[in-house]
Chain A
Amino acid sequence: MHIVDGALSNPVVIGGAFAAAGGIAVGLKSLDIDRIPTAGVLSASFFVASLIHVPIGPSSVHLILNGLAGLLLGWAAFPALFVGLLLQAVFFGFGGLTVLGVNAFNIAMPAVLAWMIFGRLIGRGSPVQGAIWGGLGGAFAIAATTLFVAVSLALTGDEFLPAAKLVFFAHIPVMVIEAVLTGFAVLLARKVKPELFLKGSSA
């Protein structure tokens, strides 16, 4: 999902940087002192969760879980996921520096959208209903992310269109896995700590 330096045209890179800065600013505003530790710890747990490799047939995929991050953090998912991407680029060499804005937008905006659409539904009804909405949110976030990646590539030039399409179709299994895992994660959280999502939807 990471786009690297040099692949995108300058307008896309600059546009992405501005969009990401805007999203981060909104996210930071929603973080008062009391929520900084929560956001930090969750940001770290998403970083760790992204190292989990889930087997799928002969291969395996690693989790992204941006949908779940959005559902728990709302707008604060923007700076939290940005921090994760920054650390990945600096210490592991994933992604790039100038494209950090585009990458952050592509991953964090779907998280926020998932929260806007599904956030309220998760706390309602039975835990199983909440889990289904959560699963839909997880799948939606991955679908939107691949779509955003495809759009960033397509805006750069037509020659990337086939690659963009490929990215989308290659990620359909990832969407399914993320949906199932996010669903079960929400199910567990609803049962173990029901107040979690009630609080999240009011914040």
Chain B
Amino acid sequence: MAHVLEPKAKTLAEAGSDAPYGVIGDLDPRLRVVMACIFAITTVALTTIPALIAALATAISLLMMSRLPIRRTLKRMAMMDSFIIFMLVLLPFTMPGEPMFSVFGFPASWQGLWKAIEIGLTANAVILTLMVLVGTMEPVTLGHALHKLRCPEVLVHLLMFTIRYIEVLREEYLRLRGAMKIRGFRPGTNWHTYRSFGYLVGMMLVRAIERSERILGAMKCRGFSGQLILLQEFRMTRRDHRFAVLLGGVCVGLLFLDYL
């Protein structure tokens, strides 16, 4: 599903081989999901800047351990920052508190600045950990792990179907775009563009639905009963326990640092 971003990259890095992600790749997927959640909840609970910096440092050291392409991952993280930067820049001006300086007569407050930094640190630490721990899995493995963690079966099915067909439908989308291009379509701010894009979306949906009917037929023919048959057995090893204790300890440490 990931060539949505770049050609040939399956998840965040190359996929296909068994465990290309160093220490992280060998861990039990279930554990990675659970630890990512625990770390996220802990980080959101933190309120002091030093503790949050420590949390971000933890996330970055996890990134180092995972052998993910560091620049690309950080770039992706920065992409998220570009979405929130607007809100963060605004915060010092809208939060009441001690004035820091003023721009065109609007005072900026220290409290607002700290709040903005706090949000920025939290958001980056959590999303980075999530990408490192969970984003390095094969999407299908994620589905299986969620099923083992007692997610509703239908939801896991939905997830797996979505993962499977994002790829297929993107190819279809590119084919349709190619067909438009070859006929001289160039997008711009005009009615023709909007109509063409609308038809494009409509066509994609109609074809998707027809495809889903064929899929259902094919699946019924093979005896699909809504049950998930898992191809992978997950096993917790000693290393998994060690990792859990380590990261759990870090979380407790972060909370303690926050409390100080």
Contacts and interface: CB of A to CB of B under 8 A. Distances in A.
A38 B154 CA distance: 13
Given A4-B119, A98-B44, A89 B130 contact: yes
Contacts of B2: 91
Interface in A89-146: 89-98
A52 B212 contact: no
Instruction: Bin the interface of chain B by size.
Output: 35 or more
Interface of A: 2, 4-7, 10, 13, 24-25, 28, 31, 33-34, 36-45, 47-49, 51-52, 54-57, 63, 65, 68, 72, 79-80, 82-84, 86-87, 89-98, 157, 159-163, 166, 177, 180-189, 192-193, 196
Contact of B195 (A31, A44, A184): A184
B158 A181 contact: no
Interface secondary structure of A, over-half rule: helix
Given A5-B43, A37-B219, A48 B123 contact: no
A68 B126 contact: no
Interface in B138-186: 139, 142, 152, 154-155, 157-166, 168-170, 173
A163 B94 contact: yes
A5 B40 contact: yes
Contacts, number: 257
A57 B166 CA distance: 29
**Residue from A40, A42, A157, A187 with most neighbouring chain B CB atoms (10 Å):** A40
A10 to B, nearest CB: 8
Nearest to A196: B209
A185 B202 contact: yes
A56 B205 contact: no
Contact of B118 (A6, A91, A92): A6
22 contacts: A4-B83, A5-B40, A5-B122, A24-B155, A28-B154, A34-B216, A36-B226, A37-B216, A47-B169, A63-B201, A79-B155, A90-B130, A90-B142, A92-B4, A92-B5, A97-B127, A159-B91, A159-B115, A181-B194, A181-B197, A189-B206, A196-B209
Nearest to A184: B198
B126 A96 contact: yes
Contacts of A95: 80, 127
A54 B196 CA distance: 11
A80 B155 CA distance: 8
A185 B198 contact: yes
Nearest to B196: A184
Interface in B12-42: 12, 36-37, 40-41
Contacts of A47: 4, 162, 166, 169
**Residue from B5, B121, B208 with most neighbouring chain A CB atoms (10 Å):** B208
B102 interface: no
Contacts of A68: 201, 205
Given A48-B170, A98-B126, A33 B224 contact: yes
Contact of B226 (A33, A184, A189): A33
A18 B249 CA distance: 29
Contacts of A98: 40-41, 44, 126
B104 to A, nearest CB: 15
A185 B80 CA distance: 30
Given A93-B77, A189-B205, A36 B157 contact: yes
A29 to B, nearest CB: 9
A24 to B, nearest CB: 7
A192 B206 contact: yes
Closest 6 CB pairs of A and B: A40-B161, A184-B198, A6-B122, A188-B202, A185-B202, A44-B165
B187 A193 contact: no
Contact of A87 (B76, B163, B194): B163
A54 B194 contact: yes
Contacts of A90: 130-131, 134-135, 142
A7 B216 CA distance: 42
A193 B84 CA distance: 40
B212 A43 contact: no
A197 B87 CA distance: 39
